[in-house]
């Protein structure tokens, strides 16, 4: 598995333009919200009453597919980088909570579709500024790195882990240079 620095450098190599990054701060949360909205409509119930567990644990629990997938992705983020994972958990919890609340109402699929479309419009407008294709075109894993990239941008802007920020930026510039040479 690639390190967090390698993955963020790959992502950043096609996200060097400030306008592109700004559009991603709009597009990525919209896309995540829309996906969470749809996945929040799929629920599972688990009863622990029959198990030999302490009384305070016994009971019925209801989970959404959004929660289950988010938990798996969060494990991946924690493996990559604990401080960034904690930040993304804090920043995206409201997105998932909001999606769960909206999923309880009527028309959530239509709303999710519209929001998903608008989110991708912002993404592609950003890549128009960048004049580079989206990172996921060459590596689907970059779809998971996009949200982490946004959190890393905030993390580095706060002055945290300056050495990592410099390393990512330097590697991204090198990768971008190689990409541009390959085009020529």
* Strand partners for 44: 63
Residue-wise pLDDT tens digits, 46-102: 776 655 655 666 666 778 999 999 999 999 999 999 999 999 999 989 999 999 999
Q: Burial, 99: exposed, middle or buried (Cβ in 10 Å; 0-12, 13-18, 19+)?
A: buried
d(C-alpha 50, C-alpha 42), whole Å: 24
Using 50, 70 and 90 to split pLDDT, how confident is the model at 118? Answer: very high
Element (H, E) at 84: helix 82-103
* Res 6: pLDDT: 96
- For the chain, the structural domain boundaries read 4-183
d(C-alpha 29, C-alpha 85), whole Å: 16
d(C-alpha 102, C-alpha 38), whole Å: 10
Residue-wise pLDDT tens digits, 141-177: 889 999 999 999 999 999 999 999 999 999 999 999 9
d(C-alpha 88, C-alpha 35), whole Å: 16
Q: What is the mean pLDDT of residues 12-24?
A: 95
Q: Give the number of other Cβ atoms within 10 Å of residue 113's Cβ.
A: 13
* Res 57: pLDDT: 63
């Amino acid at each position: 598995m690639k390190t967090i620095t390698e993955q963020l450098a790959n992502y950043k190599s096609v996200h060097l333009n400030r306008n592109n990054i700004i559009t991603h701060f709009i597009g990525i949360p919209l896309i995540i919200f829309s996906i969470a909205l749809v996945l929040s409509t799929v629920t599972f119930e688990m009863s622990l009453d029959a198990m030999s567990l302490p009384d305070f644990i016994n009971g019925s629990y209801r989970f959404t597919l959004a929660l289950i997938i988010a938990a798996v992705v969060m494990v991946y983020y924690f493996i990559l980088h604990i401080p960034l994972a904690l930040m993304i958990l804090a920043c995206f919890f409201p997105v998932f909570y909001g999606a769960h609340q909206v999923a309880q109402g009527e028309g959530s699929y239509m709303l999710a579709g519209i929001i998903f479309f608008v989110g991708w419009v912002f993404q592609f407008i950003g890549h128009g500024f960048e004049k580079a294709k989206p990172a996921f075109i060459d590596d689907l894993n970059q779809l998971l790195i996009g949200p982490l990239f946004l959190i890393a941008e905030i993390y580095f802007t706060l002055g945290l882990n300056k050495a990592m920020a410099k390393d990512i930026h330097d590697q991204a510039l090198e990768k971008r240079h190689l990409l541009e040479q390959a085009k020529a």
